[in-house]
Amino acid sequence: MLKPNKSVIIIFLGPALLCYALVFLYPSVRTVVMSFFAVESVSDAVSKWAFAGFGNYKKLFTSQFFLQSMKNIGKVWLFGGFGVMFFALVFAVALTGNLKGTKFFRSAVYLPNVVSAVAMGTMWINYVYNTDYGLLHNVLSTFGFNSLSKTLWTGPGTRFWSMLVAYCFGMVGYHMLVFISGIEQIPKDYYEAALLEGANVLQRFFKITIPNMRGVIRSNIVMWTVFTVVFFVWGQLFSPVNLSSDTVAPMNYMYELVFGASSSANTVRDTGSGAAIGVILMMMVVFVFFGTLFVVRNDDAEV
């Protein structure tokens, strides 16, 4: 048996590890360290940093904007996640059957993921939610709901939920494909045996499909959490000028603190607090990851 050539391994892995260290590892460590210092600009030299301990974190948790952003992201994760996972699983189960045109419908459901978030958000704002010629306006007025058709869907009170629906519309396809990949790994013998035993559709779903997809469900929840914590573009699209309590997410607030991006003077540059937000979001993903490992103890059934 040939022994592995260590020099060859180093030659091939070296560039990848170097890129990983420079592009991901170093910025991550620097961000964690920066979160414990008072830093005005992201380009400030380390000599200008002033140690603040947990001051940045205390400052964030006394900021109404940050607390509101955490509430918003919590609603995106919980309500949006429930809706996305539900429809993704329904489509996945339906499109792994013997329906005609399965490939077409899979492509149609996944299509919104191909379109950029900016283009998708612009489409929803201008052609779905518009109160003069939008899709919702035309459909509701056609069925006689004239007062409801004049609702300002992107106005205060409804802006968040309008944004959430638009965002979730584009996310169903991705998670559907992940579920499909899991369902297609389940041996068809299981379903055939269940049919012979007289099991109905719901019984096959809860007794065969779900138990054999625990690992896939866990992966989808973790990926949804990652997508949620980096929720940024949609908040900018639905509130393009200044931060709005209806749509602000932690990433929007972090961008405001680090770059002072809005046209109003609501915030001053505070890169240290922005770094602290990044650390908090990272810990949220880690918490969900280990939480799913604890809740979903067993992996997919062995085949």
Q: Give the Cα separation of 289 and 226 in Å (integer).
A: 10
What local confidence, expressed as pLDDT, does residue 216 receive? 92
Is residue 32 assigned to a domain? Answer: no
CB 137 within 8 A of CB 131: yes
**Does residue 264 have a pLDDT over 70?**
no
Q: What is the pLDDT of residues 89-137, one digit of tens each?
A: 999 998 987 778 888 999 999 999 888 889 999 999 999 998 888 899 8
What local confidence, expressed as pLDDT, does residue 261 receive? 63
* Enclosing domain of residue 234: 55-103+174-295
- Helix/strand/coil percent split, the chain, to 5: 70, 0, 30
Q: Give the Cα separation of 76 and 225 in Å (integer).
A: 10
Query: Residue 174: CB partners within 8 Å, gap ≥ 6?
Result: 88, 110, 113, 223
What six digits make up the tokens of 149?
């058709």
Is residue 132 assigned to a domain? Answer: no
Residue 64: give its domain's CATH number.
1.10.3720.10
**Does residue 1 have a pLDDT over 60?**
no
CB 36 within 8 A of CB 58: no
Is residue 242 assigned to a domain? Answer: yes
Is residue 284 assigned to a domain? Answer: yes
Is residue 262 assigned to a domain? Answer: yes
What local confidence, expressed as pLDDT, does residue 226 receive? 93
Residue range 254-283: mean pLDDT, rounded: 81
CB 49 within 8 A of CB 34: yes
**Does residue 242 have a pLDDT over 90?**
no
Residue range 210-214: mean pLDDT, rounded: 89
Residue range 174-179: mean pLDDT, rounded: 94
> Which residue has tokens 């494909």?
177
Residue range 126-149: mean pLDDT, rounded: 89
Instruction: Give the residue, 117 or 2, on which the prediction is more confident.
Output: 117
What local confidence, expressed as pLDDT, does residue 76 receive? 96
Instruction: Give the residue, 149 or 261, on which the prediction is more confident.
Output: 149
What local confidence, expressed as pLDDT, does residue 265 receive? 47
Q: What is the pLDDT of residues 51-96, one digit of tens each?
A: 999 999 999 999 998 999 999 999 999 999 999 999 999 999 989 8
Is residue 268 assigned to a domain? Answer: yes
What local confidence, expressed as pLDDT, does residue 297 receive? 63
CB 262 within 8 A of CB 243: yes
Name the domain count of the chain.
1
Q: Give the Cα separation of 291 and 222 in Å (integer).
A: 10
User: Identity (one letter) of the amino acid at 133?
Assistant: Y
Longest dimension (CA), the chain: 79
Q: Kindly report the pTM of this predicted structure.
A: 0.85
Is residue 120 assigned to a domain? Answer: no
Q: Which H or E run contains 37?
A: strand 37-38
**Does residue 145 have a pLDDT over 90?**
no
Tell me the three-class secondary structure of 30-93, residue by residue.
HHHHHCCEECCCCCCCHHHCEECCCHHHHHHCCCHHHHHHHHHHHHHHHHHHHHHHHHHHHHHH
Q: Give the Cα separation of 244 and 262 in Å (integer).
A: 11
